Amino acid sequence: MDADKARQVLAEADLIHSPEVVNAAVADLATRISARLADKNPLVLCVMTGGLVFSGQLLLRLDFPLEFDYLHVTRYGPDTQGGKISWRSAPWTSVKGRCVLVLDDILDAGVTLAAVKESLRRMGAQEVLTAVFTDKLNGKSKPVLADFCGLTVPDRFVFGFGMDVDGAWRHLPAIYAMKDEA
């Protein structure tokens, strides 16, 4: 997406969650995750690329020992609707016998997160917990629910705080929704 088109998309978008609401949700998640995992020395895995902003903000607020790594799996690529799961990188750190916390930007259909959990279990993780920054209220049955969730978003195409629209606006401190097509 070129810069002019990206600016137009943002100008026409609806603000769903302000930066203040986003920051408060990250702080709340950090408190809840700390209460659950402070004595576990977990391996925290960021699901790239969407989970990067959320992971970076959350990790700064966790005050217990942990290891950090990433995995890269996607169903979207440049598309706005999910397709086939594509594994691009497995974690470099062994998950065998570990408590693992997976961080992702959004729980949409749940297919990707379910596949990640299953793969980590097959790799020998003792426990796999998930934290998503947003859960899309799409009314669909999901194959997995997040153990920790920051905010809910409507059943619209959302972007910002890790989520992109055609490669743009992943770095926004707030969450927006594209205008509904009439």
Tell the residue number behind the tokens 């153990």, with chain if given: 147
Q: Give the tokens for residue 73.
A: 């799996």
Structural domain contains residue 42: yes
Q: Which amino acid is at 126?
A: Q
Q: Which amino acid is at 76?
A: Y
Angle, helices 19-37/51-59, rounded to nearest 10 degrees: 70
Query: Rounded distance, CA 121 to CA 116, Å?
Result: 9
List of residues 6+ apart from 180 with CB closer than 8 A:
156
Structural domain contains residue 182: no
For the whole model, what pTM was predicted?
Answer: 0.91
Query: Rounded distance, CA 181 to CA 159, Å?
Result: 16
The parent domain of residue 14 ranges over: 3-76+84-177
CATH number reported for the structural domain that contains residue 126 in this entry: 3.40.50.2020
Query: Rounded distance, CA 150 to CA 181, Å?
Result: 27
Q: Give the tokens for residue 69.
A: 């790594």
pLDDT digits (tens, 9 = 90+) for 167-181: 999 999 999 999 876
- Per-residue burial over 44-82, b if 16 or more Cβ lie within 10 Å, else e, is bbbbbbbbbbbbebbeeebeeebeebbbebbbeeeeeee
Query: Rounded distance, CA 150 to CA 33, Å?
Result: 11
Structural domain contains residue 153: yes
Handedness of CA 73, 75, 77, 80 (dihedral sign): negative
pLDDT digits (tens, 9 = 90+) for 101-127: 999 999 998 988 999 999 999 999 999
pLDDT digits (tens, 9 = 90+) for 123-163: 999 999 999 999 999 999 999 999 999 999 999 999 999 99
Domain count, the chain: 1
With bands split at pLDDT 50, 70 and 90, how would you rate the model's confidence at 25? very high
